[in-house]
Amino acid sequence: MSLSKETSIPSGPAASAAGRQSEAAGSPATPSLSIQNLTVEFRTPEGTVRAVDDVSFDVHAGETVALVGESGCGKTMSALAVPGLVPAPAGHIAAGRITCEGRELVGLSNRELRKVRGSLVSMVFQEPASSLNPVFTVGHQIVGVLRAHDRSLSRRAAKDRAVELLSSVGVPDADVRARDYPHQWSGGMCQRALIAMAIANRPRVLIADEPTTALDVTIQAQVLEVLEVARRETGAATLLITHDLGVVAEMADRVVVMYAGRVVETATVAEIFHAPRHPYTLGLMASLPRLDSDTRRLVPIPGHPPHLHRIPPGCGFHPRCHLRQGRSLCAEQVPPLVEVELGPRRSACHFHSEMSDEVAVVAEQMGADPTVVTSP
């Protein structure tokens, strides 16, 4: 683990610029998390399904990458594969490499993975209440995480550190509240405790799977702030999994869009929102009701996402795609994720060069300003 990276943590936009540069210039900095050609398969009574199909992306230290897509697109499974949490025996990693700070994680034994989880890579899950053990106090559980990775830490010291962590995530009267049981805490408070637990051992990679989906909007704002502080303080590479494009716009530096198990587009957050280069990304933007506007019509994507057993041949999105216009290539060949005209961003669409016209077409349908379809 290189400590040098910890000392200079670039802030939001700077970090994304650094990320882009490194991709362009043959990566001078090794990413904290690198997923290459990951494929996750599940055996089901109706045959083997591919939940994640040839997914590759990097997350650099101090950077937040959002993994977005609708339910069943493989975003959660891609993330679970990192700390080796793909549900076995039905599921397994069929191919690909996952490296964290240069260390290969695929193929590690359970014993080795336990050392990685909670120290090198840690996770925050969606349901805060069910992620905590109801029969132990919150403080006890944080002490457990600390001592699991550092046997030399005394109980007393671990307890102090747990209280310190709880107050750093904004738990008031942390020394008293640490003695509470999870049921005495609200959902937002439990999520704070889980974030404290996740950053307890200064992980290099922090994975947050829909961390605010179960929370009310005012509590969500508090928890997002805590996550941002946690990222800044630990300098960890953050992988944020969410379906909420508002959260993406506020938190992410770069975005990876998934559909039917594959990555369809990756770009910086501004590019994704203001100049999407894949028809699915554009469809998501056009489907989104905005708090700041009521004049525009929603343009929904027709149809529904495919069942994993019946992923269409060629481009998985082609049956719902407006840009396809009957062209047979889309149904025959899987489009590769290639670099598109606007710098080091990628799109998996055969006809990505037609996207700027497509944006204008959709903008007209929405009755919005054609220059920027996605802003109010």
Partner 1 sequence: MTSSSPTKGATSALVATTSDAPDGPILKVEDLAVHFTARSRLTRRAASPLKAVDGVTFSLTAGETLGLVGESGCGKSTTALAVMRLVDPAAGRILFNGKDLAGYSRTQLREVRRGIQMVFQDPHASLDPRLRVGASIAEPLQIHNLGDRCAVRARVIELLEMVGMDRVHADRFPHQFSGGQLQRVGIARALALDPQVLILDEPVSALDVSIQAQIITLLQDLQAELGLAYLFISHDLSVVRHVCDRVAVMYLGRIVEQGDRDGIYRRASHPYTQSLLSAVPRPDPRRRGTAKRIVLTGDLPNAVNPPSGCHFRTRCWKAEQACAKSSPELVDRLGGGNRAACHFAETLT
Residues forming contacts to partner 1 in the complex (CB under 8 A) are 12, 70-71, 186, 188-189, 216-222, 224-225, 243-250, 252, 269-270, 273-274, 283-294, 297-305, 374-376
Nearer to partner 1, 21 or 186 (CB): 186
Q: Smallest gap, in angstroms, from Cβ of residue 239 to partner 1?
A: 18
**Closest to partner 1 by CB, 1 or 221:** 221
Please say which residue, 97 or 243, places its beta carbon nearer to partner 1: 243
Q: Please identify, using beta-carbon distances, which residue of 159 and 318 lies nearer to partner 1.
A: 318
Closest separation in Å from C-beta 244 to partner 1: 7
Q: What angle do CA 164, 165, 167 make, to 5 degrees?
A: 65
Q: How far is the CB of 262 from partner 1 (least distance, A)?
A: 17
What is the closest distance, in whole angstroms, from the C-beta atom of residue 140 to partner 1 in the complex?
22
For partner 1, which is the closer residue by CB, 162 or 189?
A: 189
Q: Which C-beta is closer to partner 1: that of 52 or that of 226? A: 226
- Measured in whole angstroms, how far is the alpha carbon of residue 303 from the centre of its chain? 25
Q: CA angle at residue 346 from 340 to 350, to 5 degrees?
A: 65
CB of 76 to partner 1, least distance (A): 14
Our CB check for partner 1 shows the closer of 127 and 244 to be 244
Distance CA 257, CA 340 (A): 15
* Nearest residue (CB) to partner 1, 34 versus 76: 76
Closest CA to 330 of 365, 286, 280, 291: 280
d(CA 230, CA 197): 11
* Nearest to partner 1 of 144, 344 (CB atom): 344
Compute the least distance from the CB of residue 223 to partner 1, in Å.
10
Provide the minimum distance between the beta carbon of 279 and partner 1 in the complex, in angstroms, as a whole number: 12
Q: How far is the CB of 9 from partner 1 (least distance, A)?
A: 17
Q: How far is the CB of 8 from partner 1 (least distance, A)?
A: 21
Q: What are phi and psi of 321, to 5 degrees?
A: -85, 130
Q: What is the 3-state secondary structure (H, E, C) of the chain?
A: CCCHHHHCCCCHHHHHHHHHHHHHCCCCCCCCEEEEEEEEEEEECCEEEEEEEEEEEEECCCCEEEEECCCCCCHHHHHHHCCCCCCCCCEEEEEEEEEECCEECCCCCHHHHHHHECCCEEEECCCHHHHCCCCCCHHHHHHHHHHHHCCCCCHHHHHHHHHHHHHHCCCCCHHHHCCCCHHHCCHHHHHHHHHHHHHCCCCCEEEEECCCCCCCHHHHHHHHHHHHHHHHHHCCEEEEEECCHHHHHHHCCEEEEEECCEEEEEEEHHHHHHCCCCHHHHHHHHHCCCCCCCCCCCCCCCCCCCCHHHCCCCCCCHHHCCCCCCCCHHHHCCCCCEECCCCCCEECCCCHHHHHHHHHHHHHHHCCCCCCCCCC
Task: Quote the least distance from Cβ 66 to partner 1, whole Å.
Answer: 11
Q: Would you say 102 or 370 has its CB closer to partner 1?
A: 370
